[in-house]
Structure 1
Amino acid sequence: MLFLQLEPGSDTPLSRQIYLQIRSRILGGELAAGVRLPASRELAADYHISRNTALSAYELLLAEGFIEGRHGSGTYVADGACLDLPAPDPVAAAVPDPHPAPAAACIDFRSGVPALDRLPRGRWAQLIRDAWLEAPDLLFGYQAPEGSPQLRQVLCDYLRRSRGIVCAPEQILVTSGSVQGLSLVAGVLLQEIREVILEDPCNRDIGRIFSSSGTAIHPVPVDEQGIIPKLIPRLARPALLSLTPSHQFPLGGILPISRRIELIRLARGTGSWIIEDDYDSEFRYDGPPVGALQGLAPERVIYLGTFSKILFPALRLGYMVLPPAWVGPFRRLKQISDIHSNSLNQLALARFIREGSLDRHLVRSKKLYRRRRDRLVNELHSHFPGRVRILGMSTGLHLVAEWPGVRFGPELVAGAEAAGVRIYPVDNFAAGAGPYPGALLFGYGQLDEETIAEGIRRLARVVPPA
């Protein structure tokens, strides 16, 4: 008798259950070539199923070559149907998840997550409904890879007004988030083997995307104002300088005009391109908004923006502002990559911006995030009086707190996790050992004030005393 575990009440039909279990045993070598299987009548009788159910399973196995019928003899496992399964890769198994799921009671200070409980769901739902009901039939088909004309026009107007961007709508390419934008940059601009200049520390995903192209990566140290141009290797002829000038990730510095000019001169002198990742600078709390680097050198800067932080990550929409000469190559690669980004979301987003809903949402969000930032700063100073230094708190959804003399190594991080708080050492984002062993990155956008306070109370139990 062939032992099978069948579930008559399952959503998976019985014939499919039989097929999958026999197929799995053949592939794994449990049923070797030449083994005779029970006849369909016998299988049906053993499991109290109809013969048609058994025949249906056998017919599918026969069609895929897993079994063969021998006239007058029966049904047998076919030769060559066993697949040797690979052994687990110990190296791959040892690589930790950079953003593991927190335990149920763990307070997670992960950065880059907005207040998902404060989304304008009602208005957004209306706009999506209107897009579905009012969009012409053509919008449900394949669209232009560069994005909808409506969204590109309102984005152009918005970026000129809010960020000082110099562009025309034709220079905007809508992407499925900033990660796709960086991947397109690597695919178009790293055809030659030339160096890439990265801030150190920086977002690790950026380094992974660019290093996957085989190019040489040069990490350049940053300070509290951003990247230090004089430390860029003078023998390097970089293809790209990847920067976060309006809110350096993770330290939070704002690149001063003198350094911006120095980097532009370097890019012009070496024929390099500056990638400006403007991921969350809409949220500036202390002083007027900082202008984009692109406005100083639109012919040398490729500007990346995203709606993951100012709206919600699930929207999966971002954009690039390209120098005119690069619009064609990026458009072609975008088309190969995914044809186009979600058209109905683009239509809804264009209306959301045009009617002023985005501006109103940003005003409300900035007030909310300022309160959450202030509560975080107050709690840090309250629980660690005179011991903690705060960096990069003027902009964005995160800040950095540094404890001189403390090292947040694996044991201390694990201890914090055990105490119910997930922390992120800044040196985890550095190319090497890093100069910030006592610094932590705190994302606060997604946490309410009482949760922030409780998280710092838990952290205070595990940080070593002075």
Structure 2
Amino acid sequence: MLWIPIDRSLDISLKRQVYGQIRTRILQGALNAGDRLPPSRELAKQLNVSRNVVVEAYEQLFVEGYVEGKQGSGTYVAQGAYLEQNRKKRPISLLEIEQKNEADDDIIDFRSGIPALNRFPKKEWGKLVKEVCEEATDATFGYDNPEGRYELRHVLSRYLKRTRGVHCHPDQLVITSGATQALSLIANLLLTPDEKVIIEDPITHDIQTIFSSTGATLDPIPVDQHGMRTDLLPMQQKPGFVFVTPSHQFPLGGILPIQRRIQLIQFARTWDTYLVEDDYDSEFRYGGEPVSSLQGLDPERVIYIGTFSKILSPVLRMGYLILPPALTQRCRQLKWYLDLHTPSLEQKALARFIYNGSLDRHIRKMRKLYLRRKEFLSSCLKEAFADQVSISGDSTGLHMIAEFNMMFDEALVRRIYQHGVNIYPVEHHAIQKGRHGNKMILGYGNLTEKQIQEGVYRLKQALT
């Protein structure tokens, strides 16, 4: 007898369930070459399914080479379908996945850079997508330009000039699949093996990986409460570029003052190189208007990177690059080689979302929400830890830095996690280790006040 459990509640057809379980048993050696499968009528009766379900499952197994038919005698497991290493791997059941997700749900995750996912304007976005889909010409459903839709680049250039002081023509914009792709494009555009990249320290670990993957060497410049220490810029060798987060340094949160910005521009001019400005979340500034971009001071020397993952949602996978004219054509070619183009319908919907003022309204609404969450997290920390904690880097964005009189090594981070809290040490993002071991990054964008309060309570339990 071949026992195959059938779950009619799953969103998987009965044919795929029968096919999948027989296939898995053949691959793992539970069914051996030459073993005879039950007749389709017999197995269908045993499983209480239509005979057609079993016949179609057998046909799929036959097409893929797992079984073979012998005239007049039935269906048999084919030779060579056993994959030895799979015997060591136990398939994860849907129940285990659900249990894991439930366990993860109980973890309060202070991850930075995640917006309030339940506040995404789903209704309005859905309406816009429906409109652009219904109104789209046939050509819209074909291949598009690698630099992105002109209507999006046009409204985005105007929006950035108005809100961030960015100066560019729409032709200088390249729409990307998120900021990660923008960073990869820049790395491949400007870096060669053994070239140096001047970079803030600490800085996002993922960015370090992207740049290092080209074979380039990272040249870290320490960061203080105002951002990159431009007085420490090296003057011995021309770098591929200088990478900065001037409007809200990640992770420490400093804002680069004009004097240091001018030093950076003068450095770039002296060495005939570029500054790469990552402006990842400065729309959410709580003490006034967003800080003007570095790009606005010298559009010929600054490459500007932006993303909608923090403003709206990571699900959009939409970011952009603003390049000096000398680099645009090469960047378009690289973008074409990577993925041809960013999805067109989403670009058209986003263009309308910006044009009709919805983006401005959403940012204003979310800024108020994040300000409340930031202040609530700050008050919870002060109430729980009093003068044992110092808070900084919270004037902008979706995270703050909490500094304690203890070191957050792996053992302590693991103990905190066992208490149901995920925290992120600054030291993880440091290139030169040993200067930030007592600081943690606490993101609050996607946490309710109830979760924040409970998270701080658990953190206190873990640290005392």
TM-score bracket for this pair, using the shorter chain length: 0.7 to 0.9
Q: Work out whether residues 173 and 320 of structure 1, in 8 Å CA contact, stay in contact via their aligned partners in 2.
A: yes
How many Å separate the matches in 2 of 1:174 and 1:326? 14
The DSSP-based 3-state class of the residue aligned with 1:153 is helix
Q: Deviations over 1:393-427 (max 9, x none)?
A: 21111111212x31122333233333333222211
**Structure 1 position 170, deviation (Å):** 0.5
Aligned equivalent of 2:137? 136
- Sort the Cα spacing of 1:46 and 1:162 in 2 relative to 1 into closer, same or farther, 3 A: closer
Q: Work out whether residues 23 and 61 of structure 1, in 8 Å CA contact, stay in contact via their aligned partners in 2.
A: yes
Aligned equivalent of 2:4? 5
**Structure 1 position 111, deviation (Å):** 0.9
- Sort the Cα spacing of 1:325 and 1:55 in 2 relative to 1 into closer, same or farther, 3 A: same
Counterpart residue type for residue 385 of structure 1: A
**Structure 1 position 336, deviation (Å):** 2.4
- Using structure 1 for the length normalisation, give the TM-score: 0.85
Aligned equivalent of 1:408? 408
Aligned equivalent of 2:117? 116
Alignment of 1:257-276 (within 5 A): 257-276=258-277
The DSSP-based 3-state class of the residue aligned with 1:461 is helix
Ranges in structure 2 where 5+ consecutive residues have no aligned partner: 90-100
Q: Work out whether residues 26 and 77 of structure 1, in 8 Å CA contact, stay in contact via their aligned partners in 2.
A: yes
How many Å separate the matches in 2 of 1:250 and 1:236? 27
Alignment of 1:237-248 (within 5 A): 237-248=238-249
The DSSP-based 3-state class of the residue aligned with 1:185 is helix
Counterpart residue type for residue 274 of structure 1: L
Alignment of 1:333-348 (within 5 A): 333-348=334-349
- Sort the Cα spacing of 1:66 and 1:415 in 2 relative to 1 into closer, same or farther, 3 A: closer
- Sort the Cα spacing of 1:24 and 1:408 in 2 relative to 1 into closer, same or farther, 3 A: same
Q: Deviations over 1:358-399 (max 9, x none)?
A: 222222222222222222223323333333222212111111
Aligned equivalent of 1:308? 309
The DSSP-based 3-state class of the residue aligned with 1:103 is helix
Measured on the aligned residues, the alpha-carbon RMSD in Å equals 3.1
How many Å separate the matches in 1 of 2:119 and 2:41? 61
Aligned equivalent of 2:168? 167
Aligned equivalent of 1:384? 385
Q: Deviations over 1:337-376 (max 9, x none)?
A: 2222222222222122122222222222222222222222
How many Å separate the matches in 1 of 2:160 and 2:350? 14
Q: Work out whether residues 227 and 254 of structure 2, in 8 Å CA contact, stay in contact via their aligned partners in 1.
A: yes
Between structures 1 and 2, the one with greater helix share: 2
Which stretch shows the higher mean deviation, 405-414 or 389-398? 405-414
**Structure 1 position 32, deviation (Å):** 4.8
Counterpart residue type for residue 214 of structure 1: G
How many Å separate the matches in 2 of 1:36 and 1:421? 51
**Structure 1 position 29, deviation (Å):** 4.1
The DSSP-based 3-state class of the residue aligned with 1:150 is helix
How many Å separate the matches in 2 of 1:406 and 1:298? 43
Q: Deviations over 1:222-278 (max 9, x none)?
A: 111112234344444321222111100000011122222222233333343222110
Aligned equivalent of 1:206? 207
Counterpart residue type for residue 380 of structure 2: E
Counterpart residue type for residue 118 of structure 2: D
Identity of aligned residues (%): 49
How many Å separate the matches in 2 of 1:105 and 1:380? 20
Aligned equivalent of 1:93? none
Which stretch shows the higher mean deviation, 368-377 or 198-207? 368-377
Aligned equivalent of 2:96? none
Q: Work out whether residues 425 and 439 of structure 2, in 8 Å CA contact, stay in contact via their aligned partners in 1.
A: yes
The DSSP-based 3-state class of the residue aligned with 1:401 is strand
Counterpart residue type for residue 195 of structure 1: K
Q: Work out whether residues 195 and 215 of structure 2, in 8 Å CA contact, stay in contact via their aligned partners in 1.
A: no
Q: Work out whether residues 193 and 215 of structure 2, in 8 Å CA contact, stay in contact via their aligned partners in 1.
A: no
How many Å separate the matches in 1 of 2:289 and 2:59? 71
Aligned equivalent of 1:434? 434
Alignment of 1:31-430 (within 5 A): 31-33=31-33, 35-37=34-36, 40=39, 47=46, 57=57, 59-68=59-68, 77-85=77-85, 103-403=104-404, 405-430=405-430
How many Å separate the matches in 2 of 1:346 and 1:277? 21
How many Å separate the matches in 2 of 1:169 and 1:45? 62
Counterpart residue type for residue 401 of structure 1: A
**Structure 1 position 319, deviation (Å):** 0.9
Q: Work out whether residues 37 and 77 of structure 2, in 8 Å CA contact, stay in contact via their aligned partners in 1.
A: no
- Sort the Cα spacing of 1:110 and 1:72 in 2 relative to 1 into closer, same or farther, 3 A: closer
Q: Work out whether residues 6 and 14 of structure 1, in 8 Å CA contact, stay in contact via their aligned partners in 2.
A: no
Q: Work out whether residues 40 and 55 of structure 1, in 8 Å CA contact, stay in contact via their aligned partners in 2.
A: no
- Sort the Cα spacing of 1:416 and 1:27 in 2 relative to 1 into closer, same or farther, 3 A: closer
1:459 aligns with 2:459: yes
**Structure 1 position 44, deviation (Å):** 5.7
**Structure 1 position 445, deviation (Å):** 1.9
Which stretch shows the higher mean deviation, 241-250 or 223-232? 223-232
How many Å separate the matches in 2 of 1:382 and 1:153? 48
The DSSP-based 3-state class of the residue aligned with 2:387 is coil
**Structure 1 position 17, deviation (Å):** 5.0
Counterpart residue type for residue 158 of structure 2: D
